């Protein structure tokens, strides 16, 4: 595949799971992918797989929870490239599931920082580069609990509700004045480490692999969807 040849993509949470699979799929489609995450060794492993498959990637380790993490990332990328064509916001923190009354404040604060504040910071710091692209695409990975609250998921659900609103607002603000198109993607049940922590008794083979989500994201990036589009990936493939 070469449909994304010449395009620059940035994927957060690219060290494992859906983020890693999406980075590899984007590279396979021809994009140069900047891999961001906290685990340098895991990022290097993803980069090596991309190189082995004939793709191109650059690792940029960063902790999105650090106050200046996103700003440093943006400075490094803008110093090398002029435009950003694809931004996939996949990094997220799942606090321990608990009743609202028992939410751990420290863990909730980190989830808010990574899932919400870092999302706004990514948009703020990369907006100018996205607007320089002839066909910019911003993909945000969400969860159904943001729109459909359920018991014991209050902390994570609150961060995803805020995430959804930030993404939808950005879509509305840029829709008529730029080439930026935003999509909010709910991966649905997927075989990831995060899901394994949330559902420890579940058979991993009973849910789709991250590669199925990655393939759907790459297909979506190639479509002319309306900005603010929201979709859920229910089936593998």
Q: Is residue 3 part of a domain?
A: no
Q: Is residue 142 part of a domain?
A: yes
Segments forming the whole domain that contains residue 228? 8-232
Strand partners, 9: 33, 86
Query: C-alpha angle 175/180/186, rounded to 5°?
Result: 90
Q: Is residue 237 part of a domain?
A: no
Q: Is residue 30 part of a domain?
A: yes
Output the CA–CA distances (angstroms, integers) from residue 98 to 44, 103, 108, 180, in the order listed.
Answer: 34, 6, 11, 38
Our answer to whether residue 152 is catalytic in this structure is no
CATH number of the domain to which 207 belongs: 3.40.50.720
Q: Is residue 103 part of a domain?
A: yes
Q: Is residue 118 part of a domain?
A: yes
Q: Is residue 85 part of a domain?
A: yes
Out of 152, 156, 170, 225, the active site residue is 156
> Are the CB atoms for 179 and 129 separated by under 8 Å?
no
Q: For the chain, how many structural domains are there in total? A: 1
237 residues of the chain, pLDDT tens digit each: 569 999 999 999 999 999 999 999 999 999 999 999 999 999 999 999 999 999 999 999 999 999 999 999 999 999 999 999 999 999 999 999 999 999 999 999 999 999 999 999 999 999 999 999 999 999 999 999 999 999 999 999 999 999 999 999 999 999 999 999 999 999 999 999 999 999 999 999 999 999 999 999 999 999 999 999 999 998 654
pLDDT of residue 2: 62
Q: Is residue 72 part of a domain?
A: yes
Give the global pTM.
Answer: 0.96
pLDDT of residue 237: 42
Q: Count of CB atoms within 10 A of residue 132's CB?
A: 16
């Amino acid at each position: 595949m070469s449909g994304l040849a010449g395009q620059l993509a940035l994927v957060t949470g690219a060290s494992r799971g859906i983020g890693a699979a999406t980075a590899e799929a984007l590279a396979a489609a021809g994009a140069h992918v900047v891999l961001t995450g906290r685990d340098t060794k895991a990022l290097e492993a993803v980069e090596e797989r991309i190189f082995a498959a004939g793709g191109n990637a650059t690792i940029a380790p960063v902790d999105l929870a650090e106050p200046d993490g996103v700003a440093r990332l943006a400075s490094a990328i803008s110093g090398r490239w002029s435009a950003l064509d694809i931004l996939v916001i996949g990094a997220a923190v799942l606090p321990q599931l608990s009743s609202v009354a028992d939410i751990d404040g420290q863990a909730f604060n980190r989830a808010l920082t990574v899932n919400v504040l870092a999302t706004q910071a990514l948009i703020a710091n990369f907006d100018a580069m996205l607007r320089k692209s002839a066909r910019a695409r911003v993909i945000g990975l969400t969860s159904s609990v943001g729109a459909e609250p359920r018991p014991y998921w209050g902390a994570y659900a609150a961060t995803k509700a805020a995430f959804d609103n930030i993404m939808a607002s950005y879509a509305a603000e840029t829709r008529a004045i730029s080439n930026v198109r935003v999509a909010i993607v709910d991966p649905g049940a997927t075989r990831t480490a995060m899901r394994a922590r949330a559902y420890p008794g579940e058979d991993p083979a009973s849910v789709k692999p991250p590669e199925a989500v990655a393939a759907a994201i790459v297909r979506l990036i190639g479509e002319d969807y309306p900005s603010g589009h929201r979709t859920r990936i229910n089936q593998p493939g």
